[in-house]
Structure 1
Amino acid sequence: MNLQILGLKLSRYRDQLTESLDEVAIATGIDAERLRLIEEGQLEPSGDEILILADHYHCDFKFFISNEQVAPFEQTDTLYRAHGREFSKNDRIAVQEFLYLCDTEEFLMQELNRRPTDFSYRPSGNYFKGNGEGAAAAFRKTMGHDDRQVPRDIYAEFRSVGVHVFRRKLGNSNISGLFIVHPTAGRCALVNYSEDVYRQRFSAAHEMAHAIFDSKEGPSVSFYRHEQVDRREVRANRFASCYLMPPAFLQRLPAPSGWSEADAQKWANELRVSCDALGIALKEAELVDARISAKIRGFRVPRESKIDPELPENLTEIQRARKTALLERGLSDHYVGLCLDAHSQSLISLGRLSEALLCSHGELAEIASLYGRRIHGN
């Protein structure tokens, strides 16, 4: 174990989380002066200290004890250099947890022999909107949709082609999502769970477009309100619109020019999108003029009418609150299912299961029960 490389890894993780040595010392119970010497490569940590620090930074301990230098922080370094002021300390911790979940999900997928479906799209020319439309049509075809079918579980569809998608709460409500290529997990998309549930669907589809087109372009952050026009963002928005609101479906709608507020809400809810997104899509399809588009965009689907596939109506109030808290940390039905499957097949230990689910041993039975499962051996 190269102590200089180890120390550099630890210091870079700490810098990215904007934590002081004293803060890490309080969180881990390791003396601040000892931490300084470890980061400087002057002192070899114990095995327990490596495990504690790996847990604190949400990183596989094997990465710390190897001399491997490729790490997710190469991508997040770039991200924070460009948009560092947008991410609070808590948001940086959230991003680090998200990357940990992506890495763990990839590991579990391989251990369980869950292989993704191949999907790729090769754009032609520089017509970015057209490429977004073409990719949406190609992806819908791969998913088995006809030209009018509205996709329901979009997160499952994105995961089925090897993109790690996690909804995770961020403090900055202007961040819709981000896309990062993880060195071991591959393409990873974070969707801000603080957003409206239908806005989350659009954000996820937007990040999927980045996964299709921009994997070689480095990490990106998508904002709810864009200060500048970026052709890649325009393309991603066009992909999301055509994937969620297929043009053939829009063409068969009753004339939008005569819609009431209830009509707009009805069709937006059928498409699982906001009235804002629907109004824009109708104008793009030349089905309404700017005035009618603005009118439709001004309507809102009532919160109680919106459908979140991971918060079904049959949950009790206590179950809904508990599951919402887990979803805020990124624990999707898909991910929790993978963790429990791996443990039931003795592919991971009970300790590794609690680490993967970001919880204590005592919470495992409760979480499993919430998802209709039991801990193997209990």
Structure 2
Amino acid sequence: MAIDYQAVAKKLWQARELQSFQVEAVSEETGIPSGRIDQIESGESVPSGDEVLILANFYRHDFRDFLDESRPAPFEQTDILYRRHGDAFTSEDRRAIQEFLYLCEIEASLEADLGSQKVSFSFTPTGPIYKAHGEPAAKALRTELRYPSNAIPRDVFDDFRRIGYHVFRRRLMNSDVSGLYIEHPIAGHCLLVNYDEDVYRQRFSVSHEAAHAIFDSSDSVMVSYRKGTSRYDERDLREIRANRFASCYLMPPDLLPRVPHWTAEQSVHWAQQLRVSTQALSFALRSAGRIDEATAQKIRSVSVPSTEKIDPEAPPSLNDSERARRMTLLERGLSDYYVGLCFEAHHRGIISAGRLGEALLTDHAGTREISVLFGRSIEHGS
């Protein structure tokens, strides 16, 4: 098959532009002279195979994105994202988002290779009232995942992975962004949650982004902003629906407590039981007609101490050093689930030790450190 090098040149230029990299920065990081990069991007010179591999790795793309015209490259989605919300993302955030999509694609590939089984879920809303779609969708998903009627979801990140969504947490520089949803042409539903948020807020955010996957995949790209920030639109019906779904999934109305007189202690206790913020708890209770606005404000005035909040991917069973390292990995998007997939694929001989390092966004020393942290081994002969 002949390669269209003009198309390759355009894609390499586009990959750099979408991540807001200057040619000089790419040159410094890759060792390819800046003049050579200019020649390649302009189509004046054909890149060598090694140059394509080096640049693809630097831009966090599969090299086939540049060479295979039959392969749906994920440039369109990021182009849409930055045309709609470009000024919301720094160059660091654009890099983080590209790494997120890179991990989603690898995760999808490894799940297929390992034969991972997923729960099939879809929901078709009825009626024109968007907010009314959220509760029945949340109930339908809980039923599909076989939650008892009185059960509280404990690891919602795992819940959405079980239905085939790719869930990653990554710290973004823009704290106004709580999360985003992208329909990746290869990986499918991809959910990014800003790790800058409090862990209980992250639970709400991933549920919110999952709602966009359920209801709004035709839009390809959705960005969610924190309530109260300048970009948050309280009139956006899609955001209202996603908030309702998240609230009902985490706090089913039938499970909401009936407390005659709320105190600070009760507010903290129930927020901890449901693993949500007191703000989310107050809104859920208010929507259910259980409390008045004065009580809602009282509940919101306190919070669960951050030291007492439970992160399923950084559990209390870890010592302080292990937990800190796990959290550092989570900041970069390396979830327990994803890391486990990578090592399992390596153990079965599906990926080499070198490819394992690429998948973990690190070098040999970093791979070794992660293997020790997770109690896994590296087969160097593979």
TM-score between the two structures when normalised by the length of structure 2: 0.96
Q: How do residues 126-275 of structure 1 correspond to structure 2 at under 5 angstroms?
A: 126-225=128-227, 226-250=232-256, 253-255=257-259, 257-275=260-278
Q: Which amino acid aligns with 2:155?
A: D
* Secondary structure in structure 2 of the residue aligned to 1:176: strand
Deviation at 1:228, TM superposition (A): 4.2
Deviation at 1:319, TM superposition (A): 1.6
Deviation at 1:41, TM superposition (A): 1.5
Q: Which amino acid aligns with 1:217?
A: D
Deviation at 1:314, TM superposition (A): 2.7
* Secondary structure in structure 1 of the residue aligned to 2:341: helix
Moved segments of 4+, more than 6 Å: none
Aligned partner (choices 339, 342, 350) of residue 339 of structure 1: 342
For residues 118 and 169 of structure 1, the distance between their equivalents in structure 2, rounded to whole angstroms, comes to 30
Q: Is the 8 A contact 2:27 2:33 kept in 1?
A: yes
Aligned partner (choices 115, 129, 145) of residue 117 of structure 2: 115
Corresponding residue for 1:328?
A: 331
* Secondary structure in structure 1 of the residue aligned to 2:310: coil
Question: Where in structure 1 are there 5+ consecutive unaligned residues?
Answer: none
Q: Is the 8 A contact 2:342 2:356 kept in 1?
A: yes
Q: Percent identity?
A: 49
For residues 84 and 67 of structure 2, the distance between their equivalents in structure 1, rounded to whole angstroms, comes to 30
1:82 counterpart = 2:84: yes
Corresponding residue for 1:366?
A: 369
Deviation at 1:69, TM superposition (A): 6.4
For residues 298 and 9 of structure 1, the distance between their equivalents in structure 2, rounded to whole angstroms, comes to 51
Corresponding residue for 1:306?
A: 309
For residues 321 and 8 of structure 2, the distance between their equivalents in structure 1, rounded to whole angstroms, comes to 44
Deviation at 1:146, TM superposition (A): 2.3
For residues 334 and 129 of structure 2, the distance between their equivalents in structure 1, rounded to whole angstroms, comes to 37
Instruction: Give CA-to-partner distance per residue, 1:124-170, whole Å, 9 cap, x none.
Output: 11111111111000000001112221001111110111110101110
Q: Is the 8 A contact 1:151 1:244 kept in 2?
A: yes
Q: Which amino acid aligns with 2:86?
A: G
For residues 211 and 380 of structure 2, the distance between their equivalents in structure 1, rounded to whole angstroms, comes to 42
Deviation at 1:25, TM superposition (A): 0.8
Q: Which amino acid aligns with 2:321?
A: I
- Across the aligned residues of Structure 1 and Structure 2, the Cα RMSD in angstroms comes to 1.2
Deviation at 1:318, TM superposition (A): 2.1
Question: Where in structure 2 are there 5+ consecutive unaligned residues?
Answer: none
* Secondary structure in structure 1 of the residue aligned to 2:178: strand
Deviation at 1:288, TM superposition (A): 0.3
The number of equivalent residue pairs is: 375
For residues 368 and 36 of structure 2, the distance between their equivalents in structure 1, rounded to whole angstroms, comes to 37
Q: Which amino acid aligns with 2:112?
A: Q
Between 1:310-319 and 1:34-43, the stretch displaced more is 310-319
Instruction: Give CA-to-partner distance per residue, 1:24-59, whole Å, 9 cap, x none.
Output: 111111011111111112211112111110111000
Instruction: Give CA-to-partner distance per residue, 1:301-354, whole Å, 9 cap, x none.
Output: 111110001112232222222111111000000000000000000001111100
Deviation at 1:218, TM superposition (A): 2.2
1:57 counterpart = 2:59: yes
For residues 219 and 285 of structure 2, the distance between their equivalents in structure 1, rounded to whole angstroms, comes to 31
Q: Is the 8 A contact 1:149 1:246 kept in 2?
A: no
Q: Which amino acid aligns with 1:371?
A: F
For residues 260 and 64 of structure 1, the distance between their equivalents in structure 2, rounded to whole angstroms, comes to 59
Between 1:214-223 and 1:275-284, the stretch displaced more is 214-223
